Structure 1
Amino acid sequence: MRRIFTFIAFGLMQWALAQEPVHISLDDVLARVQESNASIQVSDQEAKMAKYDYRFSNSVFLPQISVSHTGMATTNPLMAFGSKLNQGILTQADFNPDLLNDPDQVENFATVVSVEQPLINMDGFYQRKAAKTTMEAKELQAMRTRDYLDFEAQKAYGQLQLAYRAVEVMQKAYDAATANLNMAQNSYDQGLLQKADLLEVKVRVTEVSDQLKTAKSNVKNASDYVAFLMNEQGNVVFQPTQELLPETIGEATEASLENRADVKAMDLVSEAYKANMRADNMTFLPRLNAFASYEMYDDQIFQADSKGYIVGASLSWDVFKGSQRFAKAGKSKTNYEKAQKEYEQYVAKSTIELKRTKRLVEDAENRLQTSKLAMEQSEESLRIRTNRFKEGLEKTTDLLMAEATYAEKQLAYYQTIFEYNQAQSLLTFLTKE
């Protein structure tokens, strides 16, 4: 029984330790996201796959070399005569018609080294160009993914900061509501306050208590998302080391959208479709390939008493393939035109998004000043009404309304700080080359 209690106590202790907030800075979050985020790892793997596709296209220039060793036994007249001829062991007696028509079993072992060298394959050249362009596009997309995850990590960290600010505000509101309830209870006990007013104060305490619980749950939700971005396992509650304060990033550079990684990637994708279109058009042209082989024959395994070679070139031309190439060329042209339209649409959409974000920064900056002023005014109003309530000069409903307004204005102010910081981060992300 003692061992069971010890085990339970140890488990509770571990659970309590697991709930202890882990302090973390924004720099730590950014570094761990870049190192461990699953989306970044996936984009890096896609870039590697495109790189191997490009290497695969080296076959347009590089030769194909193969080595084979074949052994056989045959009584087939043609094969038997040819095997002896390759082995260089033919004699006058082998031309006897009886032996030619009904030969004895002949063993033949052949070692062949063959080489095929592409010389002119115009469609292959453009396919290689398309593979290279696709590889470059994937690398830019991987780079943009890292930039986006940087922005997303900053946003998640800001949400964590905002969640802790909300807990702080609601905790103060709960303490104030509890203090007001004590004052109301004393006034009620002295006959200076009606029961209905006392119940209103109790209702306010219950409401604030529920809001405080929700705020604490939001801390866990924000921590879960930060952990997800960092690919962190386990039930961890993070606590930011920096407070939520307005951050001035500075004037964003007037960068050209064409130099942004994702826009350049879209442009390269369009170029890849263009190269594929040209490759399909080049299939109408002939191909020129060189070939060579060095052959060794013997009637014993792994022997080479007889040797010879073949060297040549092959010019092939598929004149007509049942209109397959016409359809394929037409489809690749359509894909290229579609990619061009998508690129133009993406640039137009990105331009609108950039303009909208610039206005978001300006609007958030304006709201920052007004929300701060509103918070300060509501705080002063609550202070005055609280003092008047202590003296019995203020209605309970007015005090509760002032208290609720102050909490609301605090949350609105911190929400505005979050939106201001995120608007600036988004502007930096959208203008990053």
Structure 2
Amino acid sequence: MYRIVCFATALTIFSVGAAQASPLTLRDCLARAAAANTVLKVASHDEKIAAENIAIAESGYLPRVDFQAGYVAQQEPQSVKIGPTAIPTQETNFGFANLSIYETLYDFGRTASRREQAFLAREAILHGYRGQEQDVFLQVVQAYYGILEGQKFLFTAEEEVKQTTDHQRMAQTLYEQGVVTRNDLLQAQVKLANSKQRRLAAANNLENGWLYLNFLTGQPAGYRDELQEPVAREEAAELDMMMEIALRKRPEIAALKKFVQADEAAVKESKSNYYPELFAKLALDYAQNDKVQEQTIMSATIGFKINLFDGLATTSRQRQALKVKTREEERLRSLTANIRLELQTALNDLKVAGERIAVTEKAIQQSEENLRINNDRYLEKVGTATEVIDAQTLLTQTRTEYSSAVFDYQVAAARVKRSIGEL
């Protein structure tokens, strides 16, 4: 009696816990992917790298401080010849040191252009990261609904195994009674074997689906949970309206626009290389030399420097910057066209999937009734085993097509959201 009470208590606790446990939603999976997906973790480092480029560019506003020191050993010291006499002007071996502070006063916008490029490149990388995140989210959606679809396929396959098992038993009984030929029994046995193979394939596909979803969301390979079924279908807006949303919200477009702006800054930087650079320099030089009165010399310099000829490298860099800018502008136009095509395709698939759902819903009822009629005809010995098997196959196919249509609709809806950057 004590064991029975303990078992009942444990069963009650388990039932309450199961009732309170909520299914794993698609939003849960997306949140896990955003936090733990390995592809996004790698991509997140790009923004940190780009941020360092900003610091590198801003270093041009700060002074440069250099220090060097060493020891020189000479075969003979440098001397001054006065008549027949050579008077040394330095020691044979000596130490030296130099400390200099160099500050660019004005470079015609070169440093400012580099800083602007770095800022824009970082913003472009941030938008690019969000684009990668949207791609990963779409993969999660496909994997999530792929599992739900796989569960339906497995259920359908198990139902077919039950039906073919019942038919095989029926054929066995009728064969033993001498009512049907051995051919009917063999057909039923082969059909049952095929149904079991389909069930194994469906179970394997479902297992692979879970492995893929766990990989995308950073979960252990053996993690399993109950997934939430899709609730309602969504109505899509018109193409032109959604395209306007895509142009505003699609992160890849924002990233390319930032790259184009960065290329414009690069063009300005390349032009500044034709102009001089104004600078100021403070220096402290020490050279060990007991032949002179001052071994340490302090100096201050204000001057300018300009390159007169560098083998046309500056001209080539300017042309290169212009061509890179033109390329990015073409990429932006191409991306806009591709997004429109992507959106149109997703909307078409969404519409067709909705129509497929409406058609296959009614077809399932018709297929179930068809199987019932053929089973009754077979029992009354006015139908054939082939008709029963065909009816079973038709029902399985119809259920499979319905499940595919339902989840194709959900994936197409996610693709529409991905196309406009709202997934």
TM-score when normalising by structure 1: 0.82
1:225 corresponding residue in structure 2: 212
Q: Shift of the alpha carbon at 1:138? A: 0.5
Which of 359, 377, 393 matches 2:366? 377
Q: Output the CA distance in 2 between the equivalents of 1:62 and 1:343.
A: 36
Q: Output the CA distance in 2 between the equivalents of 1:413 and 1:273.
A: 51
1:242 corresponding residue in structure 2: 227
1:117 corresponding residue in structure 2: 103
Q: Shift of the alpha carbon at 1:60? A: 2.2
Kindly tell me: are residues 127 and 49 of structure 1, through their superposed partners in 2, closer, same or farther at Cα, counting changes over 3 Å? same
Aligned residues: 391
3-state SS in 1 of match to 2:311 = coil
2:49 corresponding residue in structure 1: 49
Counterpart code for 1:177:
T
Q: Output the CA distance in 2 between the equivalents of 1:246 and 1:413.
A: 15
CA deviations over 1:170-195 (Å, ceiling 9, x no partner) = 01100110011101111111111122
Q: Are residues 1:267 and 2:218 paired?
A: no
Q: Are residues 1:176 and 2:163 paired?
A: yes
Q: Output the CA distance in 1 between the equivalents of 2:89 and 2:41.
A: 68
Q: Output the CA distance in 2 between the equivalents of 1:408 and 1:416.
A: 12
Q: Are residues 1:206 and 2:193 paired?
A: yes
Q: Output the CA distance in 2 between the equivalents of 1:274 and 1:33.
A: 36
Asked if the contact 1:171–1:212 (Cα under 8 Å) also holds between the matched residues in 2, the reply is: yes
Q: Are residues 1:156 and 2:143 paired?
A: yes
Counterpart code for 2:350:
V
Residues 403-418 of structure 1 aligned to structure 2 (within 5 Å): 403-418=392-407
Kindly tell me: are residues 389 and 106 of structure 1, through their superposed partners in 2, closer, same or farther at Cα, counting changes over 3 Å? closer
Asked if the contact 2:26–2:228 (Cα under 8 Å) also holds between the matched residues in 1, the reply is: no
3-state SS in 1 of match to 2:87 = helix
2:16 corresponding residue in structure 1: none
Q: Output the CA distance in 2 between the equivalents of 1:407 and 1:218.
A: 17
Q: Output the CA distance in 2 between the equivalents of 1:38 and 1:217.
A: 25
1:282 corresponding residue in structure 2: 272
Asked if the contact 1:75–1:104 (Cα under 8 Å) also holds between the matched residues in 2, the reply is: no
3-state SS in 2 of match to 1:116 = strand
Show structure 1 runs of 5+ residues with no match.
1-22, 82-94
Counterpart code for 2:299:
I
3-state SS in 1 of match to 2:56 = helix
Asked if the contact 1:170–1:212 (Cα under 8 Å) also holds between the matched residues in 2, the reply is: yes
Asked if the contact 2:284–2:298 (Cα under 8 Å) also holds between the matched residues in 1, the reply is: yes
Q: Are residues 1:291 and 2:277 paired?
A: no
3-state SS in 2 of match to 1:414 = helix
Counterpart code for 1:282:
S
Q: Shift of the alpha carbon at 1:247? A: 3.8
Q: Output the CA distance in 2 between the equivalents of 1:345 and 1:278.
A: 25
3-state SS in 2 of match to 1:432 = coil
Q: Output the CA distance in 1 between the equivalents of 2:296 and 2:84.
A: 27
1:332 corresponding residue in structure 2: 321
Kindly tell me: are residues 247 and 114 of structure 1, through their superposed partners in 2, closer, same or farther at Cα, counting changes over 3 Å? farther
Q: Shift of the alpha carbon at 1:430? A: 1.6
CA deviations over 1:65-88 (Å, ceiling 9, x no partner) = 23344455668544x99xxxxxxx
Asked if the contact 1:169–1:411 (Cα under 8 Å) also holds between the matched residues in 2, the reply is: yes
Q: Shift of the alpha carbon at 1:140? A: 0.7
Kindly tell me: are residues 297 and 96 of structure 1, through their superposed partners in 2, closer, same or farther at Cα, counting changes over 3 Å? farther
3-state SS in 2 of match to 1:100 = strand
Show structure 2 runs of 5+ residues with no match.
1-22
Tell which deviates more after alignment, 51-60 or 249-258.
249-258
Over the matched positions of the two proteins, sequence identity in percent amounts to: 19
Q: Shift of the alpha carbon at 1:106? A: 6.5
Q: Shift of the alpha carbon at 1:36? A: 1.8
Counterpart code for 1:309:
M
Counterpart code for 1:385:
N
3-state SS in 1 of match to 2:253 = helix
Q: Shift of the alpha carbon at 1:415? A: 0.4
Q: Output the CA distance in 1 between the equivalents of 2:44 and 2:118.
A: 17
Counterpart code for 2:208:
N
Q: Shift of the alpha carbon at 1:341? A: 0.9
Asked if the contact 2:26–2:141 (Cα under 8 Å) also holds between the matched residues in 1, the reply is: yes
Kindly tell me: are residues 352 and 103 of structure 1, through their superposed partners in 2, closer, same or farther at Cα, counting changes over 3 Å? closer
Which of 293, 303, 310 matches 2:299? 310
Tell which deviates more after alignment, 345-354 or 385-394.
385-394
Counterpart code for 1:45:
H
Asked if the contact 1:160–1:240 (Cα under 8 Å) also holds between the matched residues in 2, the reply is: no
Q: Shift of the alpha carbon at 1:401? A: 0.8
Q: Shift of the alpha carbon at 1:378? A: 0.8
Q: Output the CA distance in 1 between the equivalents of 2:280 and 2:372.
A: 94
Asked if the contact 2:289–2:295 (Cα under 8 Å) also holds between the matched residues in 1, the reply is: no
Q: Shift of the alpha carbon at 1:56? A: 1.1
Counterpart code for 2:233:
T
2:354 corresponding residue in structure 1: 365
